[in-house]
């Protein structure tokens, strides 16, 4: 079972430590914003942060996560952008630090392929079964005159069908 | 001690559930109605007992009995009365009791109905309901006991236990840690009960399905008996999902309503199979087909209900290891597996008796299209199920957690949702049994032309995004077809019965409320789709830090930062509230107050947006950050959410349509008499 142990606790500890180190300056409800490196807008930061997820706040994209820890991450993205890093470089950096889980969807490699393959395969199988079933049930329309078909009644075919359908609730 | 009273009531309810299930089985075996009556009485008795347990918790919550661990974990002195009451479902242990409470209420209600015509179903409905109830009660009694109290031992450490440990004294904290601030919203107060109502009421159709399988009475009687239950269950589930979306939009501060979070998907999955079921039962009722499939759908729905509760309650979502460590996960897993296997083996035993009474005659018939609809719903289910499950599988086998987020779900489900929309436009025009491309085309061309006119209009407004154009066209097509169906039906009655058009429309809808209620639901879906296309494809946002008096612009809108106040409230919050003026095309249109509440007790911040709503769009302002001295500025994030209010309007229409469809008949017994094989008689004058 040793090999199955996730590196999560260690990562979390590292992460929290890093968060603590950065947040030493600010405390309490009102946090001061880190000074903005010139030339990097919040929108540029959010464009990158939108595609990332921190390991603590599950399923909340980084650009909208309200926790202090995520604010630190955004500050880090801003800093990297200020140093001229590209979007891909920043994403790679976070992946290297915290693992694939920071990405919005699993990168297509190894076991992860399953996530993209299974649904279409099952859907195709389902469609095939349905097609086969429909084919085997299908009869020529000539035998469609089952009992229950209106033989008298309103002359307008639509009205007749409607009457019949309303009757068979 | 009040907590002991509640716990005692739970234990007795659990024992009575077990007795009732046993008595029903014994009664069937011995063919002795006295035992079945006894089982029925046992079922009726569970309701007052579980009520007593639930009321005990509510009493403990509102009277601040902090020696009870659950009370400490979800309430605090500063919380208002109504929040203390609703804290019953604010935490794990309490919400399981709430589940059991609803279950016992529904089981009792179904027991009280007239059973003369369906006597053979009764013991099996009792068995299924009571086994489910006993399962949830056992979770409360053995694993997540809400009545556990805190004790201080001789060494000074605080432990939690149901019974007083030797040498320990009762430990009463001065204050509790309070309800999660995110849950202190009106939407969140009624959202969980509605979801639970939906979850629990789906148990009843399942119980009838199992009864039908066991007794071999496999005609569509069980479906007719549970039609209204299914619709009501579906209504609650839909309402729960809608309110959850609204809550997210109002409270979570990310400018969205649905984030494909596993917790959301947990509630969405039974809704998907439930929706497929509501459609496919019509084929069984009208044509005597798909009996196997309906059984599979109702079994799936039941187990997805339990699975949904399991996902949200076991901690499995945060980590597979949390699942393995808590006792609740494996127990849930075992129960799901057991019920699934038992249900499927019952189904296999009756497989041959569930043969179709009719045959599919055309690929374009309504039944064939309904099957296609089922395929698409199942496709969405597979995507959701797999998306939720995969991170767990990955963690289990590679130790590496992955995130399966919105991009995956959006890409995978968008075409399927599009296909469903298209079917909503085509299927109502197709006839049962036989329908050809020619007859379909003949009834379709008018709505089709109307939808093209709408498309042209959309093009004129400057929309060029091809996906949006396709989506809007589909919406227009479905709306045109649906309205055309109302019109054609009313016209037909108008001509054949000489009724005035409004009267004809009223009577038409009244004679088959399920059909026309369904059409209203379709219109609701169209409106919701318009809102979803608007916000998903055309949402824009910007963020910036501006000093007081300065402007931040997004498209036609801009805001001016007027002032900011930072103060403490007497319910334990620190509130930072900004005042911004909103301008559209340079014109002043109003003032908004985005704020950030910080809860001292739970150390959680909460972002409340300032929103300006219109049919055209929402202008949604968030206060992200601010400087202690407000002249230095504050950071705002602003969203422009086009058409999002159509989503909420669509939600209303959707619920309205469900109510129309589920409204009780004046004389339920005569209306439920199977008429499938009666010969045609000219309609009454």
Give per-residue pLDDT as tens, B610-651.
999 999 999 999 998 887 765 578 999 999 999 999 999 999
Residue B422 in this model has a pLDDT that exceeds 80: yes
Tell me, what's the pLDDT at B353?
A: 83
Q: Which residues of A touch B400 (CB under 8 A)?
A: 6, 99-101
Confidence of residue A163 (pLDDT cuts 50, 70, 90): low
Please tell me which of the candidates B360, B382, B678 has its beta carbon nearest to residue A119. Answer: B382
Residue B671: both structure tokens together: 């209306």
Q: Which residues of B touch A166 (CB under 8 A)?
A: 508, 511-512, 515
Whether B67 and B169 have beta carbons less than 8 Å apart is answered as no
Find the mean pLDDT for residues B135-141: 95
Confidence of residue B685 (pLDDT cuts 50, 70, 90): very low
Find the mean pLDDT for residues A82-103: 90
User: Per-residue pLDDT tens for B479-511?
Assistant: 999 999 999 888 888 888 888 888 888 888 888
CA distance B115 to chain A (A): 22
Q: Which residues of A touch B363 (CB under 8 A)?
A: 134, 138
Please tell me which of the candidates A31, A102, A103 has its beta carbon nearest to residue B625. Answer: A31
Residue B64: both structure tokens together: 């601040």
Residue B360's nearest CA partner among A54, A7, A69, A138 is A138
Tell me, what's the pLDDT at B501?
A: 84
Residue B12, SS3 per DSSP: helix
Residue B385: both structure tokens together: 């199920």
Residue B547's nearest CA partner among B451, B458, B636, B426 is B636
Alpha-carbon dihedral angle through residues B86, B91, B93, B95, given to the nearest 10 degrees: 50
Share of chain A above pLDDT 90, in %: 21
Tell me, what's the pLDDT at B610?
A: 93
Tell me, what's the pLDDT at A166?
A: 64
Which span out of A56-65, A136-145, B37-46 was modeled with the highest average pLDDT?
B37-46
Instruction: Give me the phi and psi of B533, to 5 degrees please.
Output: -60, -45
User: Per-residue pLDDT tens for B581-602?
Assistant: 999 999 999 999 999 888 887 7
Q: In whole angstroms, give the CA distance from residue B476 to residue B452.
A: 8
Tell me, what's the pLDDT at A138?
A: 62
Q: Say if the Cβ atoms of B680 and A118 lie within 8 Å.
A: no
Q: Say if the Cβ atoms of A169 and B321 lie within 8 Å.
A: no
- Of the two residues B13 and B264, the one the predictor is more confident about is B13
Q: Which residues of B touch A123 (CB under 8 A)?
A: 375, 379, 382
CA distance A154 to chain B (A): 7
Please tell me which of the candidates A43, A138, A148 has its beta carbon nearest to residue B363. Answer: A138
Q: In whole angstroms, give the CA distance from residue B144 to residue B141.
A: 7
Find the mean pLDDT for residues B241-249: 90
Q: Say if the Cβ atoms of B403 and A53 lie within 8 Å.
A: yes
Q: In whole angstroms, give the CA distance from residue B526 to residue B534.
A: 12
Secondary structure (DSSP) of B343-390: HHHHHHHTGGGG--SS----TTSHHHHHHHHHHHHHHHHHHHHHHHHH
- Please state, in angstroms and as integers, the Cα–Cα distance from residue B654 to each residue in B476, B505, B519, B638, following that order: 17, 19, 9, 30
Residue B408: both structure tokens together: 């995956």
DSSP bridge pairs for B618: B613, B641
Whether B21 and B126 have beta carbons less than 8 Å apart is answered as yes
Q: What is the mean pLDDT of chain A?
A: 70
Tell me, what's the pLDDT at B402?
A: 87
Residue B596, SS3 per DSSP: strand
Confidence of residue A19 (pLDDT cuts 50, 70, 90): very low
CA distance A20 to chain B (A): 15
Tell me, what's the pLDDT at B324?
A: 60
Residue B60's nearest CA partner among B71, B50, B52, B51 is B71
User: Per-residue pLDDT tens for B515-567?
Assistant: 899 999 999 999 999 999 999 999 999 999 898 899 999 999 999 999 999 89
User: Per-residue pLDDT tens for B4-40?
Assistant: 999 999 999 999 999 999 999 999 999 999 999 999 9
Q: Say if the Cβ atoms of A100 and B371 lie within 8 Å.
A: no
Other CB atoms within a 10 A radius of the CB of residue B566 amount to 17
Confidence of residue A148 (pLDDT cuts 50, 70, 90): very low
CA distance A80 to chain B (A): 18
Residue B580 in this model has a pLDDT that exceeds 50: yes
Please tell me which of the candidates B255, B378, B628 has its beta carbon nearest to residue A126. Answer: B378
CA distance A15 to chain B (A): 16
* Range A39-44 contact pairs with CB under 8 angstroms and sequence separation of 24 or more: A39/A82, A40/A78, A40/A81, A40/A82, A41/B543, A41/B544, A42/B542, A42/B543, A42/B544, A42/B545, A42/B635, A42/B637, A43/B541, A43/B542, A43/B543, A43/B544, A44/A81
Q: How many beta-carbon contacts under 8 Å exist across A and B? A: 220
Q: Say if the Cβ atoms of A111 and B378 lie within 8 Å.
A: no
Q: Say if the Cβ atoms of A169 and B675 lie within 8 Å.
A: yes
Q: Residue B31 region, left (φ>0) first, then alpha (ψ -120 to 50), else beta?
A: left
Share of chain B above pLDDT 70, in %: 95
């Amino acid at each position: 079972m040793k090999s199955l142990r996730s590196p999560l606790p260690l990562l979390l500890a590292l992460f929290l430590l890093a968060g603590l180190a950065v947040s030493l300056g600010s405390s309490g409800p009102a946090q001061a914003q880190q000074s903005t490196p010139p030339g990097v807008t919040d929108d540029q930061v959010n464009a990158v942060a939108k595609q990332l997820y921190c390991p603590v706040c599950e399923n909340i994209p980084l650009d909208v996560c309200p926790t202090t820890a995520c604010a630190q991450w955004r500050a880090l993205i801003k800093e990297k952008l200020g140093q001229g890093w590209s979007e891909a470089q920043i994403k790679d950096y976070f992946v290297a630090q915290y693992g694939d889980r920071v990405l919005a969807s699993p990168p297509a490699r190894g076991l992860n392929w399953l996530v993209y393959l299974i649904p279409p395969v099952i859907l195709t199988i389902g469609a095939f079964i349905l097609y086969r079933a429909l084919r085997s049930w299908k009869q020529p329309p000539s035998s469609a005159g089952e009992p229950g078909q209106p033989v008298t009644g309103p002359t307008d075919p639509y009205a007749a069908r409607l009457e019949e359908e309303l009757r068979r609730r | 001690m009040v907590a002991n009273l509640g716990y005692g009531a739970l234990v007795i309810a659990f024992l009575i559930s077990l007795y009732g299930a046993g008595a029903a089985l014994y009664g069937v075996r011995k063919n002795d109605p006295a035992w079945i009556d006894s089982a029925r009485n046992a079922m009726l008795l569970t309701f007052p007992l579980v009520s007593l347990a639930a009321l005990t918790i509510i009493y403990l919550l509102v009277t601040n009995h902090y020696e009870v661990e659950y009370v400490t974990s979800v309430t605090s002195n500063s919380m208002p009365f109504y929040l203390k009451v609703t804290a019953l479902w604010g935490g794990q242990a309490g919400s399981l009791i709430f589940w059991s409470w609803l279950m016992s209420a529904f089981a009792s209600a179904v027991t009280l109905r007239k059973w003369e015509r369906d006597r053979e179903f009764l013991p099996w409905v009792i068995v299924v309901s009571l086994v489910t109830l006993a399962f949830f009660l056992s979770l409360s009694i053995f694993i997540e006991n809400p009545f556990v109290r805190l004790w201080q031992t001789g060494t000074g450490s605080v432990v939690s236990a149901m019974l007083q440990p030797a040498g320990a004294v009762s430990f009463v904290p001065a204050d509790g840690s309070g309800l999660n601030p995110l849950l202190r919203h009106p939407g969140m107060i009624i959202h969980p009960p509605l979801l639970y109502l939906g979850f629990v009421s789906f148990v009843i159709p399942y119980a009838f399905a199992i009864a039908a399988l066991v007794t071999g009475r496999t005609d569509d009687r069980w479906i007719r008996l549970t039609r209204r239950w299914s619709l009501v269950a579906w209504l609650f589930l839909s309402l729960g999902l809608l309110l959850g979306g609204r809550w997210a939009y109002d409270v979570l501060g990310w400018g969205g309503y649905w984030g494909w979070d596993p917790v959301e998907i947990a509630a969405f999955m039974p809704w998907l199979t439930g929706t497929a079921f509501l459609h496919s039962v019509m084929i069984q009722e009208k044509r005597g087909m798909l009996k196997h499939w309906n059984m599979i759908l109702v079994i799936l729905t039941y187990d997805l209900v339990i699975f949904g509760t399991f996902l949200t309650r076991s901690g499995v979502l945060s980590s597979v290891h949390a699942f393995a460590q808590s006792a609740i996960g494996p127990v849930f897993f075992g129960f799901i597996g057991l019920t699934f296997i038992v249900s499927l083996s019952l189904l296999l035993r009756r497989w041959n008796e569930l043969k179709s009474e009719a045959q599919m005659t055309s690929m374009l018939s309504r039944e064939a299209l309904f099957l296609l609809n089922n395929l698409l719903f199942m496709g969405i289910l597979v995507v959701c199920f797999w998306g939720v499950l995969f991170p767990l599988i990955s963690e289990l086998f590679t130790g590496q957690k992955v995130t399966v987020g919105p991009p995956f779900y959006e890409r995978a489900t968008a075409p399927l949702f599009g296909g469903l929309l298209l079917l909503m436009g085509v299927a109502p025009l197709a006839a049962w049994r036989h329908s050809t491309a020619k007859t379909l085309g003949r009834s379709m061309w008018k709505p089709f032309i109307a939808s093209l006119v709408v498309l042209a209009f959309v093009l004129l407004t400057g929309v060029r995004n091809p996906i949006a154009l396709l989506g809007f066209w589909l919406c227009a097509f479905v709306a045109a077809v649906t309205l055309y169906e109302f019109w054609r039906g009313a016209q037909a009655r108008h001509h054949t019965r000489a009724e005035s058009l409004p009267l004809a429309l009223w009577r038409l809808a009244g004679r088959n409320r399920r059909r026309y209620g369904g059409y209203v639901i379709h219109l609701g879906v169209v409106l919701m789709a318009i809102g979803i296309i608007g916000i998903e494809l055309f949402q824009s946002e910007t963020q910036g830090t501006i000093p007081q008096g300065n402007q931040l612009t997004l498209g036609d809108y801009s805001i001016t930062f007027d002032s900011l106040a930072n103060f403490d409230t007497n319910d334990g919050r620190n509130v930072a509230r900004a005042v911004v003026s909103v301008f559209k095309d340079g014109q002043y249109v109003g003032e908004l107050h985005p704020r950030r509440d910080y809860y001292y007790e739970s150390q959680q911040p909460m972002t409340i947006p300032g929103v300006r709503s219109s049919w055209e769009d929402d202008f949604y302002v968030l206060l992200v950050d601010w400087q202690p001295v407000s002249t230095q500025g504050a950071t705002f994030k602003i969203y422009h959410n086009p058409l999002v209010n159509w989503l909420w309007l669509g939600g209303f229409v959707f619920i309205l349509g469900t109510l129309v469809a589920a409204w009780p008949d004046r004389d339920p017994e005569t209306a439920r008499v199977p008429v499938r094989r009666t010969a045609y008689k000219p309609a009454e004058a």
